[in-house]
Amino acid sequence: MSLKLKINDDIKTAMKAKQKDDLRALRAIKSMILLAETADGSTSELTEEQEIKMLQKAVKQRKESAQVYKEQGREDLAEVELVEVAVIEKYLPAQMGEEELQAKIAEIIAQVGAEGPKDMGKVMGAASKALAGQADGKSISTVVKSLLNK
């Protein structure tokens, strides 16, 4: 089942259950999907990779917003953003743990033949493709830096 159909079904369920927080997040996802599908030069259907990138972007935006709200003392608005993050993350693949991420990146470093920090670009390119949807770019970058600096 495509993400669009799953979101539509979940919107109906949330409406029936009167889950306002879930409904708000689901409608935001649906809106993002529709905008992406109707954007200039896009095909009618999104690929799974595009859907994952879009959801990751939404999670990142909401986490950043929540952080700003917390810094400004607006815990009520931060809580709204974090609730939406929790709903959106249900549609993302499971995220890798720190140890598993380090093991995968160590494999990638060996495959690419990276020797030090100067090879970070090569490793990041391969790691980003291999770990798409399983880990965010920031955590991948942090692990790559630590492993290449050893």
Q: Which of 1-15, 59-73, 120-134 has the lowest mean pLDDT?
A: 120-134
pLDDT at 42: 67
Give the pLDDT confidence score for residue 50 in this predicted structure.
Answer: 83
For domain 3-89, the CATH architecture is Orthogonal Bundle (1.10)
Q: CB of 133 within 8 A of CB of 92?
A: yes
User: Which position has the higher pLDDT, 84 or 46?
Assistant: 84
Q: What is the mean pLDDT of residues 83-101?
A: 88
Planar angle of CA 101, 103, 106, nearest 5 degrees: 105
If pLDDT is split at 50, 70 and 90, which confidence band does 43 have?
A: low
Domain layout of the chain by residue ranges: 3-89, 98-148
Where is pLDDT greater, at 69 or 1? 69
Query: Could you give the CA distance from residue 89 to residue 102 in angstroms, rounded to a whole number?
Result: 22
Q: How confident is the model at residue 95 (pLDDT cuts 50, 70, 90)?
A: confident
Is the domain spanning 98-148 CATH 1.10.10.10? The answer is no
| DSSP-assigned letter for residue 8 | H
